[in-house]
């Protein structure tokens, strides 16, 4: 019975680490514009960071062939012809880290043409690191309790 | 440890024993395989619209690493089309077992090649060129065709399945990770085997071929080298072969401590880390370098790749093992025994890495099934399916689940294997934790 109680507590701790709401770090939303250059097979800059609530404008310009920019999790996208500017505006109302992906076939490595949008801190990464540590802790605790049985 | 015998159900047993269901699957797989090769040669050069790339590297890979290996071990090998033609030629028949006297050379593979090193080399070669192989239909087809012809060639020169057992780049890691699967083929009673005259499961009989994978079923203690081909189920006159459900990672309780298998574990762990960085990262120049094979920069990338899998990862692990040494037994044996913990870790690294591109690119499957060659066909009306990531909000949580679960699993494995290695499990667990932190940081 005892190991089960401990297991229950550990699972509970895991759920808290994974899902407990964090105090919202509030900063007044602003409008931000990013100039992003797309070329085979990268975005420059590769990562953009904004605060939750910001109004984000991405000016996409392609320096070689046609590229796209699709924001994972938001489902919005824009397409830029070579040398032409195209703009995408959206409100960053979901926090976390999201991949930017080219959604116009642009050459061999196209499926791996990715960038990153950080909206606020990458809390899921921190939660995951904490979960990994908790996982190790659990293994030690459970090994000890089952040995005592 | 409790086991549950599946072959106790006559339906399951007869389905596996009968040659026709397996033959039907083989024919289907072989047709798909030959079509993939053809598609790569005659279809569009655009990878994401060619059947060869989409079916091999998205559909097949997803099924293999997310389902087949974790749950069925070498289940894929039971239906793999690559060795089938060589098998047929070697036996001189499609359904009949191998004749007593082979028509071909039927040589024994030299002892120094009877290990996993050739598979370690073949996998590493594929890995170094993977950016091109994964994205270029013609190259994928050349690799698939080369595997087909090598397996045929080796079947005619050597006995049994030399290609599967010693050369196939996929077969090596399937075997390594099959040890974690909750499914096994074993004999029911070793005493029956000890008194069994002629050992038809290994030597063959008119009921079936001797084990094509060159293992003696009566001595099986791990899944690594049994290809689940079902021949022994057919040949055993004492009905002594069983297929069992069992707890996950049952084989890891007794570490095998062989250096070739240990390096397979490092190669797989390292390759998943390098891929996560190169393919899923935001650094575009490294993608170009990985793709520009034989350019000076690519040689640098290749050297870095090799340094990670053969130098840095094993080196740091060696230090962890040294650091945790309690008993002064052979350091080589301590190293290989402790590395058992890396088997579940590596498997889950691959699961997590694969999740990041499989769901994202799954829509290509719908388009490619209607227009497999990228020639504007529309066989099932789905050719125009637009690319759209599927379930993208689930990817990161599932990856975390896989990596954290894999870490706990490997820590548990380390605790069990450390006493057998005469070391403390703590440094090994710290190593696994550090690798998991790195993988989380790369993927999330
Ligand atoms: S034929 Fe059956 S009983 Fe005989 S050695 Fe093989 S598995 Fe054992
Ligand atoms: S004959 Fe039996 S032991 Fe040998 S590979 Fe086939 S299923 Fe495995
Ligand atoms: Cu692009």
Using a CB–CB cutoff of 8 Å, tell me whether B433 touches chain A.
Answer: yes
Instruction: Report pLDDT digits (tens) over B302-339.
Output: 999 999 999 999 999 999 999 988 877 788 899 999 99
| Closest ligand 2 atom number to CA of residue B229 | 6
A135: nearest CA in chain B? B408
Among all chains, which residue has been given the structure tokens 């039971």?
B78
Binned at pLDDT 50, 70 and 90, residue B393 comes out as confident
* Pairwise CA distance, residues B120 & B170, whole Å: 10
Among all chains, which residue has been given the structure tokens 């125009």?
B384
CA distances in angstroms from B65 to A68, B29, B57, B376, listed in the order given: 30, 18, 11, 31
Question: Would you say the CB of residue B287 lies under 6 angstroms from ligand 1?
Answer: no
What values do phi and psi take at B93, rounded to 5?
Answer: -165, 160
Q: Cis ω on the peptide bond leading into residue A132 (within 30° of 0)?
A: no
B22, B168, B222, B226, best to mutate for ligand 2 pocket (most atoms within 8 Å of CB): B226
pTM of the model as a whole: 0.95
Rounded to a whole number of angstroms, the distance from the CA of A122 to the nearest CA of chain B is 8
ipTM of the complex, rounded to two decimals: 0.93
With contacts defined as CB-CB under 8 Å, which chain B residues touch A128? 400, 403-404, 440, 444
Report whether pLDDT(B137) > 90: yes
With contacts defined as CB-CB under 8 Å, which chain B residues touch A47? 282
Neighbours of ion ligand 3 (CB under 5 A): A 67, 102, 106, 113
Name which of B73, B400, B330, B102 is nearest B222 in CA terms.
B73
Instruction: Report pLDDT digits (tens) over B283-299.
Output: 888 999 999 999 999 99
pLDDT (0 to 100) of residue B305 = 96
With contacts defined as CB-CB under 8 Å, which chain A residues touch B437? 129, 132
With contacts defined as CB-CB under 8 Å, which chain B residues touch A40? 284, 288
Q: B162 C-alpha to center of ligand 1: Å?
A: 22
Question: Would you say the CB of residue B200 lies under 6 angstroms from ligand 1?
Answer: yes
Report whether pLDDT(B414) > 80: yes
**Percent of chain B at pLDDT exceeding 70:** 100
pLDDT (0 to 100) of residue B139 = 95
With contacts defined as CB-CB under 8 Å, which chain B residues touch A115? 282
Report whether pLDDT(B386) > 70: yes
Rounded to a whole number of angstroms, the distance from the CA of B400 to the nearest CA of chain A is 6
The token pair that represents B418 in the structure block = 């450390």
B206, B218, B239, best to mutate for ligand 1 pocket (most atoms within 8 Å of CB): B218
Q: Do A135 and B407 touch (CB under 8 A)?
A: yes
Where chain A has pLDDT below 50, the residues are: 149
Question: Would you say the CB of residue B192 lies under 6 angstroms from ligand 1?
Answer: yes
The kind and range of the H/E element at B166 are none
pLDDT (0 to 100) of residue B106 = 86
Rounded to a whole number of angstroms, the distance from the CA of B232 to the nearest CA of chain A is 39
Among all chains, which residue has been given the structure tokens 């909000």?
B393
Encode burial over A111-130: b for 16+ CB neighbours within 10 A, e otherwise. Answer: bbbbbbbbbbbbebbebbbb
Report whether pLDDT(B114) > 80: yes
Q: A47 C-alpha to center of ligand 3: Å?
A: 16
- Least confident range from A145-149, B155-159, B221-225, B342-346: namely A145-149
Using a CB–CB cutoff of 8 Å, tell me whether A77 touches chain B.
Answer: no
Name the 3-class secondary structure at B72.
Answer: helix
Q: B9 C-alpha to center of ligand 2: Å?
A: 20
pLDDT (0 to 100) of residue B57 = 92
Q: Do B135 and A111 touch (CB under 8 A)?
A: yes
Q: Which sequence spans correspond to the domains of chain A?
A: 33-121
pLDDT (0 to 100) of residue B344 = 97
Q: Do B284 and A128 touch (CB under 8 A)?
A: no
User: Structurally, what CATH architecture does the domain formed by A33-121 represent?
Assistant: Sandwich (2.60)
B10-17 vs B19-42: helix crossing angle, rounded to 10 = 50
Q: Which sequence spans correspond to the domains of chain B?
A: 1-254, 256-443
Binned at pLDDT 50, 70 and 90, residue B367 comes out as confident
Judge contact between B180 and B70, C-beta under 8 A: yes
Instruction: Report pLDDT digits (tens) over B57-113.
Output: 999 999 999 999 999 999 999 999 999 999 999 998 888 888 777 888 888 899 999
Computed on alpha carbons and rounded to an integer, the radius of gyration of chain A in Å comes to 21
Category of B249 on φ-ψ map: left (φ > 0), alpha (ψ -120 to 50) or beta: left
Report whether pLDDT(B1) > 70: no
Question: Would you say the CB of residue B215 lies under 6 angstroms from ligand 2?
Answer: yes
Using a CB–CB cutoff of 8 Å, tell me whether A146 touches chain B.
Answer: no
Q: A87 C-alpha to center of ligand 3: Å?
A: 16
With contacts defined as CB-CB under 8 Å, which chain A residues touch B403? 128, 132
Using a CB–CB cutoff of 8 Å, tell me whether B415 touches chain A.
Answer: yes
């Amino acid at each position: 019975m005892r190991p089960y109680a401990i297991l229950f507590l550990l699972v509970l701790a895991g759920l808290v680490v994974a899902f407990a709401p964090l105090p919202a770090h509030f900063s007044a939303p602003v409008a931000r514009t990013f100039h992003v250059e797309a070329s085979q097979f990268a975005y420059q800059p590769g990562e953009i960071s904004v605060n939750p609530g910001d109004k984000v404008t991405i000016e996409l310009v392609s320096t070689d062939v046609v590229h796209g920019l699709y924001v994972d999790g938001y489902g919005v996208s824009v397409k830029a012809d070579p040398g032409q500017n195209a703009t995408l505006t959206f409100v960053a109302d979901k926090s976390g880290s999201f991949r930017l992906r080219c959604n116009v076939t642009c050459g061999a490595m196209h499926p791996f043409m990715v960038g990153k949008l950080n909206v606020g801190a990458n809390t899921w990464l921190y939660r995951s690191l904490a979960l990994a540590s908790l996982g190790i802790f659990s293994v030690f605790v459970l090994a000890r309790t089952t040995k005592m049985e | 440890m409790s086991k549950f015998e599946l072959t106790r159900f006559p339906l399951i047993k007869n389905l596996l024993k009968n040659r026709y269901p397996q033959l039907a699957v083989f024919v289907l797989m072989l047709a798909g395989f030959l079509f993939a090769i053809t598609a790569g040669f005659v279809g569009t050069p655009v990878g994401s619209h060619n059947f060869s790339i989409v079916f091999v590297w998205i559909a097949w890979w997803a099924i293999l690493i997310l389902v087949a290996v974790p749950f069925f071990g070498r289940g894929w090998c039971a239906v793999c089309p690559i060795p089938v033609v060589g098998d047929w030629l070697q036996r001189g028949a499609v359904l009949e077992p191998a004749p007593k006297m082979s028509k071909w050379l039927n040589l024994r593979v030299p002892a120094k090649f009877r290990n996993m090193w050739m598979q370690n080399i073949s996998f590493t070669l594929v890995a170094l060129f993977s950016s091109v192989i994964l994205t270029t239909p013609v190259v994928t087809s050349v690799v698939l065709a080369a595997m087909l012809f090598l397996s045929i060639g080796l079947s005619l020169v050597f006995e049994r399945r030399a290609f599967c057992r010693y050369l196939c780049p996929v077969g090596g890691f399937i075997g390594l990770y099959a040890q974690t699967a909750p499914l096994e083929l074993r004999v029911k009673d070793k005493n029956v085997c000890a008194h069994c005259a002629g050992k038809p499961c290994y030597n063959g009989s008119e009921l079936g071929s001797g084990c094509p994978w060159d293992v003696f079923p009566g001595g099986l203690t791990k899944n690594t080298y049994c290809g689940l081909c079902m021949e022994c189920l057919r040949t055993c006159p004492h009905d002594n072969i069983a297929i069992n459900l069992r707890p996950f990672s049952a084989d890891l309780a007794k570490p095998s401590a062989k250096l070739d298998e240990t390096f397979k574990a490092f190669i797989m762990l390292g390759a998943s880390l390098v891929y996560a960085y190169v393919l899923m990262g935001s650094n575009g120049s490294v993608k170009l370098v990985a793709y520009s094979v034989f350019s000076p920069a690519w040689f640098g990338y290749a050297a870095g790749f090799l340094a990670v899998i053969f130098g840095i990862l094993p080196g740091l692990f060696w230090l962890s093992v040294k650091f945790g040494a309690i008993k002064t037994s052979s350091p080589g044996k301590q190293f290989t025994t402790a590395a058992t913990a890396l088997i579940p870790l590596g498997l889950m690294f691959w699961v997590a890495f694969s999740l990041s591109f499989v769901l994202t690119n799954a829509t290509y499957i719908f388009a490619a099934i209607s227009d497999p060659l990228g020639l504007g066909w529309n066989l099932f009306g789905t050719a125009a399916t637009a690319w759209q990531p599927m379930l993208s909000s689930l990817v990161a949580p599932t990856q975390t689940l896989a990596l954290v679960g894999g870490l706990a699993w490997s820590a548990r494995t380390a605790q069990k294997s450390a006493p057998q290695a005469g070391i403390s499990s703590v440094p090994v667990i710290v190593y696994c934790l550090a690798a998991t932190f790195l993988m989380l940081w790369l993927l999330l």
